[in-house]
A = this chain, B = another copy of it.
């Protein structure tokens, strides 16, 4: 029997996205748990589920209990859960599958994506990384994953943590570069809009070629004239340090690769 109904613990971004994708694929969401009943309600009403705020009310007959909570909260929930679920899985990139060792049948269902409540994404492209403590559980989680995404991966906890680390660079750090860029433009009253096309193109380029081939700019050319004129503009010490550090790193990695 494949997974047909799911109880979701957590009412944040991941819960908001996953619950809706699952019902679109014909899965029943039985319950949404949050300590804050209003948060649970806000998602439960969208996916026609029961909102609950006590872990004692969790339905132990659910085919899958899916933990969509922060890394820190996983241990807390695990300690408090007194039932033996059919399958329990967490959705965290940097948590080992062993966090769920207390339960007989457990796994991981990790979507490698940046989620924001209310912003739709093309979920069919979102990588779903699966791990399980036995073959049957793995097969069930993989079948569920394939209902909502074309990109499914079987990764162990070590590989998943590596992916999560890589995603911090590709998403959080990248986004921080956009933030610094916005800050620099504001100093001369220029709208961030002017950078949107180049930001879009930067992400387009690496869809079909390696980042190292796509690299341009003063750092990779070691163009000290431009680098110095940029450093002169960066009155803010932290931004100046960032510029120097990343520029030097671009050049160093180029030397290593050539």
Contact = CB atoms under 8 A, between A and B. Distances in A.
A177 to B, nearest CB: 5
Nearest to A202: B171
A258 interface: no
Interface of A: 71-72, 94, 112-114, 116, 119, 121-122, 125-127, 151, 153, 155, 158-159, 161-185, 187-188, 190, 192, 194-207, 210-212, 214-220, 223, 225-226, 229-230, 233-234, 238, 241-243, 245-246, 249-250, 252-253
Contacts of A181: 166-167, 169-170, 211
A39 to B, nearest CB: 18
Given A184-B165, A184-B166, A246-B242, A94 B226 contact: yes
A220 B173 CA distance: 10
Nearest to A221: B70
Contacts of A250: 172-173, 176
Contacts of A185: 162-163, 166
B214 A165 contact: no
A245 to B, nearest CB: 6
Contact of A190 (B114, B151, B162): B162
A38 to B, nearest CB: 22
